[in-house]
Amino acid sequence: MRNQAEGLIINVTSGFGRVSFPFATMYAASKFALEGISEGLHYEVKRLGIDVALVEPGAFPTEMQQKNNPASDQGVFAGYGAIADLPNKMVAALGGEMQAKKPNPQDVADAIVNLIGTPKGTRPLRTVVDPITGPYIEAANQAVAENFAKGLTVFGMGELL
């Protein structure tokens, strides 16, 4: 890609790659890692003609929900005491939001196709695809972007923006 001065890397993370919800900690940690790699690489290779973009889906009705396996060791589960039922409350609330907003997984594929079709050098770093918590993730992204730009400038790398 560097030799050709052209390329596109699209990584799919999650809104949980920006905020870490309780009881999704390990999932969020893996998404945070991909966010960090992608963000740093985005600024490193942008001026070399290579775009790095992130797609941040929220919750969608996919097989992931059916394959979610709560604690099988009831002793560990019981050790959570007063908060042991919170994951069930979260799943129920999310189910209600999915029923109300009816997110379509095709929206994620469409976002990726849109990024591919966007002219080189104009692709956004982050694309949120989430009708449920998207506004919160967008606000977090905006706040971080503004302060990140200040940090790059302080460290003498403002030209990478």
9, 53 Cβ separation under 8 angstroms: yes
Structural domains of the chain, ranges and CATH numbers in brackets: 7-69+104-160 (3.40.50.720)
Taking phi first (over 0 means left), then psi (-120 to 50 degrees means alpha), and beta for anything else, what does residue 48 get? alpha
pLDDT score for 85: 85
For the cut 90, the answer to whether the pLDDT of residue 155 exceeds it is yes
C-alpha to C-alpha distances, 97 to 61, 65, 74, 140, nearest whole angstrom: 11, 14, 29, 21
pLDDT digits (tens, 9 = 90+) for 75-84: 777 788 888 8
Stated pTM of the model: 0.89
Percent of the chain at pLDDT exceeding 70: 95
Q: Is 27 a catalytic residue?
A: yes
Active-site residue, from 27, 43, 80, 136: 27
Distance CA 136, CA 36 (A): 19
Across the range 95-108, mean pLDDT stands at: 92
